Amino acid sequence: MAMKPSSSRLAADTALTTFVCLLMAFLYVPIWVLIAFSFSSSRSLTWPIPGFTLDWYRKLFANADLLAAVGNSFYVAICASLLALAVGIPAAMALHRYDFWGKTLFRRLILLPITLPGIVTGISMLNMFRLFGFSQSLETVIFGHATALLGVVVTQVFARLQRLPKSLEEASYDLGAGPARTFFRVTLPNISSAVVGAGLLSFVLSFDEIPVTFFLTGRDNTLPMYIYSTLRRGVTPEINAVGTLIVLATLVLIIISVVLSRDRTPR
């Protein structure tokens, strides 16, 4: 005969469920409010919403300055992600394959840009670029973002390499393949999901970055900087529409990144 749960166990489960519901509400209710106001027919943010309209989205796509900022954000995020992958994959391979003096220190230092506040990274990069005579531009933003994203790529790729059986590469060498062919035909296909996942996550983090961008950007605005400057005049439904699109796009990319970063059996 099954025993009924005690009252104390029931109370604990109820408390835990209540806490989780409150936590989810704290995290996601503001997002749902933002999405709801992006469809409001009134320019003033009043509740209840007087009516629903898509006019703010139409105005959004007719705003030349905003579209230029979106293009700049895509340019920066794509280039920063590719640069982080170009440096991070060889760094992860070196950590995985070779033992060298200072290896542990190198692993810790490569994570430093992630742990540092963005304002510290931004000021440091700004001082460095000024020291070498580089003016602020989208290209300096790309290098700043790539520096911060390097740790993301290295940690994800290195973790996948640690789970890759060494016998696969050894079999490739035994069959006469060289290091380059082994990497492109054996290693890279087996870590491709981690590479794509790290790239997508890097893209999302770069696209939404503000502190580093604030110090390194020149005359060209990225989308987060455009929104930040517009908010000084108050929140409008057009800004809510931008935020809604960013939330949806970020959610899709994060889901893809998580799916691709899951453990898979090596081929």
Q: Residue 2: its pLDDT value, please?
A: 47
Torsion of CA 158, 162, 165, 168, to 10 degrees: 20
Q: What's the CA gap between 193 and 150, in Å, rounded?
A: 17
**Tens digits of per-residue pLDDT, 91-109?**
888 877 777 776 777 777 7
For 212, the token pair is: 């580093």
**Tens digits of per-residue pLDDT, 69-93?**
888 888 988 999 999 999 888 888 8
255: containing domain: 66-260
Q: Residue 267: its pLDDT value, please?
A: 46
CB 48 within 8 A of CB 232: no
* SS3 at position 52: strand
CATH number at residue 98: 1.10.3720.10
Residue 98 lies in a domain: yes
Residue 221 lies in a domain: yes
Output helix, strand, coil percentages for the chain, rounded to the nearest 5.
75, 0, 25
Q: Judge whether residue 3 has pLDDT over 60.
A: no
Sign of CA dihedral 172, 176, 181, 183: positive
**Tens digits of per-residue pLDDT, 156-182?**
888 888 787 777 766 777 677 777 777
Q: Residue 82: its pLDDT value, please?
A: 92
Q: Judge whether residue 33 has pLDDT over 80.
A: no
Q: Residue 41: its pLDDT value, please?
A: 67
Q: In which residue are the tokens 């936590």 written?
A: 23
Query: What pTM was estimated for this model as a whole?
Result: 0.74
Give the whole-number percent of the chain exceeding pLDDT 70. 82
Residue 137 lies in a domain: yes
The count of domains in the chain is: 1
